[in-house]
Amino acid sequence: MADSPLLDGITVLDLSSVGPASRASRWLADYGATVVKVGPTASRAGVLIDPPFYSYGAGRGLKRIRLDLKSPGGLDAFLRLAERSDVLIESFRPGVAERIGIGYAALSERNPGLVYCSTSGYGQSGPYSQWAGHDINYLALGGFLDCSTARADGGPPIPGATVADSAGGGMHALVAILAALVRRAGSGEGTHLDVCAADAVLALMSQHIDEYLSTGVLPGPGSNILTGRFACYDCYRTRDGKWLAVGAIEPHFYANLCKALGLEQYIPYQEDDARQDEIREAFRAAFAERDRDDWVAELAPANTCVSPVYSVPELIADPHYRERGVFCSANDAERGEFELLAPVFAGSRRDLPVYQVRPKRASDTDEFLRYAGLSAAEIEELRTSGAAE
């Protein structure tokens, strides 16, 4: 681990409150960037969603300023701050940033090295660019829901995580920003990044999309080994009503599993479609004979690709995660001490001190307006006029 954080010295302005952009800025802060959340003043506070106190690491390590960007003074202060920043992330509907006066063209004139990241559901161009949407909409458009195992009524399931926002748009933004910073280190040039959550879902779906484009095979539940076609890749209920996940794709892992279950007769038929119902039923009967954790203790270390299906309380208590330090502590004046997920991406620091949660209206406005070059008199004028707080 390096002595200093990987993104030490990088300043990020984040105009979002929730969604992919806020996930990306959270992870940039975990890598050591100075992330400044730019929010509205109290008079305009209703224009953004106010997420729950625990969201995005409860604001761990994030700075805050509050400006009225629709006032001349507030807009000028923001532009001066953008001149000294490395990255800007915004999640307005396409065209809104330009109308406010903080679009890429305006800011790049002042700061040619700025990495400007626009995040949206459907992108900055295309016939759907003005559509409103959320995670489920992007997963639907990108084919993710259609390729997932249907629920009891035959309809697409609702995923247990915001896949499009996080693994899609949030990571899309993070990777694109880091790549742009690498290029800028050599050329000095900034860029405008069009991060589209729906596009990012296509990246997650690339295996299925490419299969269809190249072979004409229609992907979907049960169409191939990764979507439940074979018994070796499925979930099974155990005696105590809990579940195991089995991912024995490789023939030697599948053979190990069959031997451990006393079902060696099925080893030659791993991908025999005519035998899958029979093998599944045999697996179900075998797993139902013992409790989940008993099976895990025997099978997980035995090269069978078996793992428990955990609830959130179970994963929090798991010794593997505890040893890896994936949780950290926070303290709130009203709620007391509680745990949060620590930075978990490789290269970020996990050994964090107890984080003191700040009051919602706390801000670092004066600090960053001074950083932007504003005088004490200018800052006082902004506060008096209500353009900053």
0.75 surpassed by pTM: yes
Quickly state the pLDDT bin for 1 (edges 50, 70, 90).
Answer: very low
Q: What is the CATH number of domain 225-309?
A: 3.30.1540.10
Percent of the chain clearing pLDDT 70 (strictly above) = 98
Average model confidence (pLDDT) across the chain: 94
The DSSP bridge partners found for residue 34 are 11
Helix (H) or strand (E) holding 294: helix 292-299
Q: What is the CATH number of domain 11-204+359-385?
A: 3.40.50.10540
Q: Where are the beta strands (DSSP E) in 269-323?
A: 306-308
- Angle of helix 376-385 relative to helix 72-83, nearest 10 degrees, comes to 140
Dump pLDDT digits (tens) for 202-252. Answer: 999 999 999 999 999 999 998 999 999 999 999 999 999 999 999 999 999
* Residues known to be catalytic: 134, 165
Alpha carbon 90 to its chain centroid, in Å, reads 16
Lowest model confidence (mean pLDDT) among 144-153, 186-195, 211-220: 144-153
- Angle of helix 171-187 relative to helix 197-204, nearest 10 degrees, comes to 100
Lowest model confidence (mean pLDDT) among 2-6, 296-300, 307-311: 2-6
- Sequence letter at residue 340: L
Q: Where are the domains of the chain?
A: 11-204+359-385, 225-309
